[in-house]
Amino acid sequence: MGIEKWGWKEDPFTLKIEPNLFTGYDEQVSAINRHIENKHKIALVTGNTGSGKTTLLKWLEMNNPNIAKLYISKPPLKPEEFVQIFTDIFGLSFFDRLFGKTPTLWTLPTYINKKLKGTHLLFLIDEAHETSRDVLEWLRVLVDQIDSVSLIIAGLPSLESNIKSSLETFEQRITTRVALTALSESETKDLLRKRIEAVGGSGTTPFTDAAIAAIYQRTGGFPREVLKLADKLVHDAIEKGQNVIDAQNLADYREFEPAPVLEEPVVAFAPKPPSELQVANLPRKQRQLLEILAKTDWLTPTALAEQISGSYASKGHAIRSINNILHRLMLEGYVQRESKGKAFMYALTPKVRTLFVKA
């Protein structure tokens, strides 16, 4: 018997965008909603792959029914493509089509304002780290000249640092900044519950509270990792004929995840392999973690939290913060991790270890 034994119509943990099931990030969502309500111009959303950026943008699109909306899953590679994007959405008049008259990049703001007729536009752009500086600079020009628009632009954390270093005029116009890092333990439980109930299940069955706590500890509350681990645990339970998933199932679970392989850069903002200079210029806590790992291999977030300096409200806050930093360092190629027992353990990647040996 498969997933139907829990009353599920389908696998609830398939990695697909479900904006109606968006969970957590209450402070970030409130900040973005205020941005839209106050008709501010530019908001920046950053987060690592799998943190929920796309789901948030689609949720915003779904939950703002009374304004004009435009969602772009990937930004254009050339500024001129904005003309096609907006004419596809708003269309051309009969006479414009008859005489072959279309807006240019320079007349596009006038065209958009005429089409909007004072209506507020929610402009959502995903994967913005995959475009060029020229496109972002023209995007800033367009937003400046559209009468009523809120641009929500989302991308990897590298997007913000690249804007700061090379697009000062764009940087100065960002009114709202939010970072999607990880869910709390209660939000992790809520994510599992919403996914399960959406396919006909009840509450968080078959997961016990102890299992959910272990899932949170193992993943640090990173949404995509939560869903991937939950899916693997479910299929393991089906294979073993188990009706309940408890913390012991995680204790028996083994996984090795090597350092991520960064894809070849296809756009201007693609990240490069870590260099000695990049390591030296990392934020203080990130560099502290790397320095500790340079001395001792394979430490848990708990062990690292006990060694790193800094004040936290509680041990739980410290561990959660360290988990978030480690996820970022892993995705950027600085650290690798291995599952041993009930927790992930971290070590430097060979490339970064070589840099510390040279230092």
For the domain that residue 223 is a member of, what is the CATH number? 1.10.8
Locate 175 and state its tokens: 């009114």
Task: Determine the pLDDT at residue 302.
Answer: 83
| Number of domains within the chain | 3
Are 277 and 337 within one domain? yes
- Count of beta carbons in the 10 Å neighbourhood of residue 165: 9
Of 156, 155, 157, 128, whose CA–CA distance to 140 is shortest? 128
Beta-strand pair 42-47/174-180: parallel
Do 289 and 188 lie in one domain? The reply is no
- Name the band, by pLDDT with cuts 50, 70 and 90, for residue 342: low
In a domain, 9, yes or no: no
pLDDT digits 0-9 by tens, 185-240: 999 999 999 999 999 999 999 999 999 999 988 888 889 889 999 999 999 999 99
Residue positions counted in the chain: 359
In a domain? residue 346: yes
| Residue 260 reports pLDDT greater than 70 | no
pLDDT in tens, 145-196: 999 999 999 998 889 888 988 899 999 999 999 999 888 899 999 999 999 9
| 288-339 per-position pLDDT tens digit | 888 888 888 788 888 888 887 565 666 777 787 888 888 888 877 788 887 6
What's the chain's Rg over C-alpha atoms? 23
What is the distance between the alpha carbons of residues 139 and 296, in angstroms, rounded to a whole number? 46
pLDDT value, residue 243: 94
**Token pair of 178, please?**
């939010």
φ, ψ for residue 191, nearest 5 deg: -60, -45
The model's confidence at residue 126, banded by pLDDT at 50, 70 and 90, is very high
Lowest mean pLDDT among 9-23, 107-121, 221-235, 304-318: 304-318
Q: Give the closest residue to 13 by CA, choosing from 230, 183, 208.
A: 230
Q: Are residues 34 and 159 in the same domain?
A: yes
Please indicate, yes or no, whether the overall pTM of this predicted structure exceeds 0.85: no
Cα distance between residue 86 and residue 89, in whole Å: 5
- Mean pLDDT (the chain, rounded): 85
255 φ, ψ to 5°?
Answer: -150, 140
- Identify the domain containing residue 332 by its residue range: 270-358
Q: Which of 123, 158, 180 is the last residue of a domain?
A: 180
Quick one: 81 and 92 in the same domain? yes
Contact 209, 68 (CB under 8 A): no
How far is residue 227 from each of residues 12, 50, 216, 231, 324, measured CA to CA in Å?
9, 10, 11, 6, 17
> Which of 165, 180, 195 lies at the terminal end of a domain, its last residue?
180
Alpha carbon distance 82, 319 (integer Å): 44
How far is 263 from 282, CA to CA, in rounded Å?
A: 21
Domain boundary among 253, 285, 300: 253
Is residue 135 in a domain?
yes
| Weakest mean pLDDT among 126-135, 335-344, 350-359 | 350-359
Q: Does 205 share its domain with 276?
A: no
Token code pair at residue 212: 């959910």
pLDDT at 352 over 50: yes
Asked, for residue 262, whether it belongs to a domain, the answer is: no
> How far is it, in rounded angstroms, from Cα 75 to Cα 126?
7
Residue 74 gets which letter from DSSP? S
Does residue 232 sit in the same domain as residue 313? Answer: no
Does position 97 have pLDDT exceeding 50, yes or no?
A: yes
Distances from the Cα of 190 to the Cα of 21, 151, 282, 315, angstroms: 10, 29, 34, 23
- Are residues 242 and 297 part of one domain? no
In a domain, 276, yes or no: yes
